[in-house]
Amino acid sequence: MATDSSAPEIQLSGDSGLKKQILREGQGERRPTTGSEVVVHYVGRLLDGTVFDSSRDRNDYFTFNLGTGSVIKGWDEGIKTMRKGELALLTCGPDYAYGKRGSPPKIPPNATLQFEVELFSWSSLKDISERKDKGIMKAEVKQGEGYQTPKDEARCVINLVGKVLPADASEEDEEADGEVFERRENYEVVIGEGQLTRSLEKCLENMRQGEHATFILAPRYAYGAAGDASLKVPPNARLRYDVELVSMVSPQEPWDLDANGKIHAAEKRKNEGNELFKQGKHDRAIAKYRRGTSFIDADHSFQQGDELTRAHALKATLYLNIAACEVSRKSWDDVIENCNQALKLGANNFKALLRRGKAYNERNEWDLAKQDLKQALELDPASADAKRELAAVNKKIADHDKKDRQAYSGMFERMSKMEQKETKPTPAPSAAGESSDK
């Protein structure tokens, strides 16, 4: 494709310190965002045409993370305006290059520099899954406005296209395309109401109003091993969603309510979470319980005495309910964290000790498990659950000790045989084997 050296200059800064000429147009509408790992070729020149650096001369692409300060300001600001395949001339004034000091010996003080930059590719994928297991990856296509993101109960209008990715598509390829299985335009949703999968709600919770983004979902965060025949999603399919958050209306916030209103709001979310828990919708139940804690999180909102006591008791219950959901999901670290939060509000919480003891047992931290379970039994000596869990801990310890004894016994037996072999006298040579001096 031919380049256009007569292309108009585009002002990229309000102070005329950074300008851009598009010498060759790029492809598509996507542009790299802050944090993207970009791959470029460049030629750097002084205004008199002297080349002071060139990746092309080295025949080696230059890779860096955009917007992190690892390159000059002109690059961080200029390259994020480029599209894939674009060739551009960036003119960087001193404040966008090396400033008053320059970069001796090649770049003098207060130098204005020109960089011919070609953008080959970039990766903007970020892991937004709660477990950080790369199950939900996000690539920002267009930045949103402000700083607010949707949360549970937010009302949103979205545009959405869902695609099934080919089985051979690379997990790192954010541009991989597939067959459309779902399309929604100006679709009104309320986070937490079950109109979308919990994973898709998680995607929306990581967007700002006006933002466009691409999300790649692993099968475990999509429709799993079963797939969804009604949507024509096959088993174990990776999905791609292209989403635009057109608008959002935030839900009622804690600061809009007085103390009694906050307690009532938290109680309401607890009851809604309990219904979801009964239905086995643990992810959604957790979202409701967490939303409930947000109303009563600040102690200063409540007067000392009965009001604060009620808030603490309700908060502890919400944490315990989250822990119960995490037990069902076998997320033992999260069980322990939420039980810890409940125990901060009251050290003698039987359910918190029982659930944390179980989690420690599952992590094979038996001393901690026994400590919690014994304390739980002191609070409720008749608890069959605590007795059963403590018995399971003791059995694990006994089995472990037995295996150790067997291992050590076998090791000592082998060592004893080796010692016997080393100390056994060597037989004298037989007469038939002796040499003769005759």
Positions marked active-site: 42, 52-53, 72, 98, 115
For 425, 426, 428, 429, 431, the CA distances from 435, given in Å and listed in that order, are: 22, 19, 13, 10, 9
Q: H helices of 191-255, where?
A: 198-204
- What are residue 222's DSSP bridge partners? none
What amino acid is encoded at 285 in this protein?
Answer: A
Give the start-end residues of each E strand in 218-304.
239-249
Could you give the CA distance from residue 43 to residue 58 in angstroms, rounded to a whole number? 11
Residue 46 DSSP SS3: strand
> Dihedral, CA atoms, 53, 59, 65, 71, nearest 10 degrees?
0
Q: Is 382 exposed, middle or buried (CB count within 10 Å of its CB: 0-12, 13-18, 19+)? A: exposed
Could you give the CA distance from residue 91 to residue 11 in angstroms, rounded to a whole number? 10
